[in-house]
Amino acid sequence: MSLTALSERYLDELAQQRRQSPHTVSNYRRDLRTLERLVGELPGNVSFRTLQVHHVRRFVTQLHARGLGGRSLARLLSAWRGFYRWLGLRGEVSVNPMDGVKAPKSPRALPKVLSPDEASRLLSTVGDEKCDDALNLRDQAMFELFYSSGLRLAELAALDTSCLADLANGEIRVLGKRSKARLVPVGGKAREAIGQWMLGRGQVAKPDEPALFVGQRGARIHPRVIEERLKCFARAQGLPVHVHPHMLRHSFASHMLQSSGDLRAVQEMLGHASIASTQVYTHLDFQHLAKVYDAAHPRAKRRES
C-alpha cells in the first residue's frame, strides 16, 4: 500500500476513533504530505519503509533553512512520529526513524492580547451597513461570548441552541479538544447580546438548523467567516492591531489572571489539560506589573538629564 493510502487510513482513524478535531486532522494531513514530498525527493531507492534517522535530520535541516521555526518543526515531527508509530503497530515498518530527532529550539513567543480598554472599545456596539441588522446582532453576540468565556474558535462555531438551557444559569457548556465537555461562566453583557441575537436569529437561520450562530445562508457559520467578521469589526472600531479570535481568548485569560490571580480557575475555564499551557499568561501578567512598576516607583523612574 502506498504512503498516501496509508496516511489517509491513519487520518481517518484519528478523525473517527480518536475523535480529533477537523482542524487537527487537516494539519496532520498537510504535515504528512510534506513528508511524502520530501521522501520523494530522496535519491536512490529510499522509500518511507526504508527511511532512516539521518534522512529525517536532513529533512529538518532543509525545512529550517527554508524558514520553518522550531515550534513548527516540532509539530511536524510529532505528526510524523505518531504516523510511524501507527505503521509499526501494523507491521508496515520495523523502526521509527523519527525517534531521537529533535527540532531546533526557538524562543517562545508570548500570546498577543488586547488591553482592557481595547477590548471594551472593540465590543462597543457597531453597525455594518453591508450586513442585515440580524447579522450585526450575531456578530456582537459572538464576540461578547469570545471575550466573556475564553472560548476557542471551533468551540464557538460548534455551539447549538441547546446550550441556552445552561445560559439561563449564567453558564454555557462547550465541547473542547478530544470531545471533553466543560462548563464556563458567561457574563451579563454576553448573555444580553445572545438574547438580542436570538430575537433576530429566526430571520436568518433555516427552520431545522441547530447551530446557535449561522451564516447568511442559514446554516452553521464557518470558522473562517467568524475570523473575517472579527477583522472587520476591529477595523470599524479603529483598533491599531490585527484582531483574531484567539486574541480574544488570550485577552480573556490574561485579564482574568490579572484580576484574580487564580491560575487553576483560569486553567479550568480555558479547558487546558496541563497547567503549563496556562502558565504562559503569568508572564504576561508579570510584564503588566513591570510596566506599572517602571511608571510609578520613584526608584524605577529614569532621571532627566
C-alpha cell at 192: 444580553
Give the integer Cα–Cα distance in Å for 31 and 139.
Answer: 33
The residue annotated as part of the active site, out of 138, 220, 229, 249, is 249
Q: Is 177 a catalytic residue?
A: yes
Which of 10, 28, 84, 281 is labelled catalytic?
281
Whether residue 255 lies in the annotated active site:
no
Give me the residue label for grid cell 480557575.
265
Most distant CA atoms of the chain, gap in Å: 75
Known catalytic membership, residue 84:
no
**Catalytic pick among 152, 191, 220, 250:** 152
> Would you state the cell numbers that stand for residue 103, as one nine-digit string?
527540532
Q: Which of 75, 177, 189, 244 is catalytic?
A: 177
Q: List, in order, residues 6 or more apart from 11 with CB less than 8 Å away.
A: 25, 28, 29, 32
The single-letter code of the amino acid at 171 is E
Catalytic residue among 81, 182, 272, 288: 272
Cα radius of gyration rounded to whole Å, the chain: 23
297 is catalytic: no
272's grid cell: 487546558
- The grid coordinates listed for 209 are 438548523
User: At 277, which helix (H) or strand (E)?
Assistant: helix 275-278
Question: Of the listed 121, 173, 246, 288, which one is catalytic?
Answer: 246
Residues acting as catalytic residues:
152, 177, 246, 249, 272, 281
